[in-house]
């Protein structure tokens, strides 16, 4: 479906040349959900934007269904772009237009009749479960609803490829799940190939078939998601894998088996470096039992989680939980 050969993208910054994508080779099969994961600045956005030539590659080739899109002139490129939908982290909806008008927009560009447009938009609204928001403006929608509108708009012209540039990064975990399940439905029912850029391993684990790990502009590993978790080949892949809790740990912990409250803490950045647990034990009249957890380093950032049993009076436990929240620790009571 997509074949990327020796792709390089340089940016000229003042007198310097910055190579954002370096000699990337990648093959993505039809119907795959393919993830590209990497830390900030790895070159993910630049790579995906080269696929529809929102960025012009400096050298190399991108062939989509046998057509070398890097060699296309303006008019042919416009036709090919119809086959490629794209969604973004911040949705990129037209704020002055209603949900209906946003979804109708790409159909109007194709000069479809108003009857055709109305039928297609209504069909799409029902598909993304937003019929009741037809006349709402983007500012009146939640993040998840905005992304549903953006998805409906991206698939309005029935593309064969959907690109997602951090499409779930601005959403909370529950909304992320619902958007991922919509994307999965689109792949299954409409047969689209989906390429997703993300820095969230949870997204890769939930939905992708295969994944490429990007670092400093290069693809350093391509793996099936299953094998990535079983035996990551590179240190960066290992760090990504270790950075998310394995659900299995959580599943083993049944709150009914414990006398105290089961708490899951997840933390990022500086809070992971502080002796937070000993602070809680010193300041509050509770006992803490550590059940499972891990903390990893992703470049300069610490990420981690801990499953704990808090034993004590309810009031005291609640005070301790408020303290943790103030320390920017994400707290869940299981």
Ligand X SMILES: Nc1ncnc2c1ncn2[C@@H]1O[C@H](COP(=O)(O)OP(=O)(O)OP(=O)(O)O)[C@@H](O)[C@H]1O
Closest CB to ligand X among residues 122, 216: 216
What is the distance between the alpha carbons of residues 51 and 29, in angstroms, rounded to a whole number?
A: 14
16 to 55: interface string for ligand X, x by CB under 6 A: --x-x-----------------x-xxxxxxx---------
CB of residue 24 to ligand X, shortest distance in Å:
12
Task: Name, in order, each residue with C-beta under 8 angstroms of 74's C-beta and a sequence gap of 6 or more.
Answer: none
CB of residue 11 to ligand X, shortest distance in Å:
3
Closest CB to ligand X among residues 150, 276: 150
176 to 195: interface string for ligand X, x by CB under 6 A: --------------------
Task: Name, in order, each residue with C-beta under 8 angstroms of 13's C-beta and a sequence gap of 6 or more.
Answer: none
Task: Name, in order, each residue with C-beta under 8 angstroms of 127's C-beta and a sequence gap of 6 or more.
Answer: 152
CB of residue 22 to ligand X, shortest distance in Å:
11
CB of residue 192 to ligand X, shortest distance in Å:
22
Closest CB to ligand X among residues 102, 147: 147
Cα–Cα–Cα angle for 222, 223, 224, nearest 5°? 145
- Candidates 55, 77, 58, 60; CA nearest to 26 is 60
Q: What is the Cα gyration radius of the chain?
A: 23
Q: 152 and 125 in contact (C-beta within 8 Å)?
A: yes
Burial of 61: CB neighbours in 10 Å, binned 0-12, 13-18, 19+? middle
CB of residue 49 to ligand X, shortest distance in Å:
8
Closest CB to ligand X among residues 134, 199: 199
Cα–Cα–Cα angle for 154, 104, 185, nearest 5°? 35
Question: Which of 13, 66, 275, 299 contacts ligand X by CB under 6 A?
Answer: 13
- DSSP-based helix, strand, coil % in the chain, nearest 5: 40, 30, 30
Q: 173 and 200 in contact (C-beta within 8 Å)?
A: no
Helix, strand, or coil here: 86?
Answer: strand
Closest CB to ligand X among residues 43, 106: 43
Question: Which of 22, 53, 81, 199 contacts ligand X by CB under 6 A?
Answer: 199
Closest CB to ligand X among residues 145, 236: 236
| Residue 11 within binding range of ligand X, rule CB under 6 A | yes
Tell me, by CB under 6 A, how many residues bind ligand X. Answer: 13
Closest CB to ligand X among residues 31, 41: 41
Q: What is the DSSP letter of 226?
A: H
CB of residue 71 to ligand X, shortest distance in Å:
23
CB of residue 55 to ligand X, shortest distance in Å:
8
CB of residue 88 to ligand X, shortest distance in Å:
11
Contact residues for ligand X, defined by CB under 6 A = 11, 13, 18, 20, 38, 40-46, 199
């Amino acid at each position: 479906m997509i074949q990327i050969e020796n792709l390089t993208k340089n940016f000229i910054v003042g007198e310097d040349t910055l190579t954002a994508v370096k000699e990337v080779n990648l093959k993505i099969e039809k119907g795959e959900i393919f993830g590209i994961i990497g830390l900030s600045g790895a070159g993910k956005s630049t790579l995906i934007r080269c696929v529809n030539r929102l960025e012009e590659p400096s050298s190399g080739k991108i062939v989509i269904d046998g057509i070398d899109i890097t060699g296309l002139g303006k008019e042919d490129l416009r036709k090919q772009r119809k086959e490629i939908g794209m969604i973004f982290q911040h949705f990129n909806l037209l704020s002055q237009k209603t949900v209906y008008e946003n979804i109708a927009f790409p159909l109007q560009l194709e000069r479809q009749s108003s009857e055709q447009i109305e039928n297609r938009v209504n069909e799409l609204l029902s598909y993304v479960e937003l019929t009741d928001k037809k006349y709402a403006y983007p500012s009146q929608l939640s993040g998840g609803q905005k992304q549903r509108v953006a998805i409906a708009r991206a698939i309005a012209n029935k593309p064969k490829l959907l690109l997602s540039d951090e499409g779930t990064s601005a959403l909370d975990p529950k909304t992320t799940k619902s958007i991922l399940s919509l994307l999965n439905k689109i792949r299954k029912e409409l047969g689209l190939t989906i390429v997703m850029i993300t820095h969230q391993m949870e997204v890769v684990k939930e939905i992708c078939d295969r994944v490429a790990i990007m670092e400093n502009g290069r693809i350093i590993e391509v793996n099936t998601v299953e094998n990535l978790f079983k035996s990551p080949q590179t240190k960066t892949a290992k760090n990504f894998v270790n950075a998310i809790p394995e659900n299995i740990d959580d599943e083993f912990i049944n709150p009914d088996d414990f006398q105290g409250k089961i708490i899951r803490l997840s933390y990022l950045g500086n809070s992971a470096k502080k002796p937070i647990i000993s602070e809680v034990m010193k300041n509050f009249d509770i006992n803490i039992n550590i059940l499972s957890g891990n903390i990893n380093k992703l470049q300069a950032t610490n990420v981690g989680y801990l499953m704990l049993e808090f034993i004590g009076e309810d009031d005291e436990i609640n005070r301790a939980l408020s303290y943790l929240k103030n320390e920017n620790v994400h707290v869940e009571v299981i």
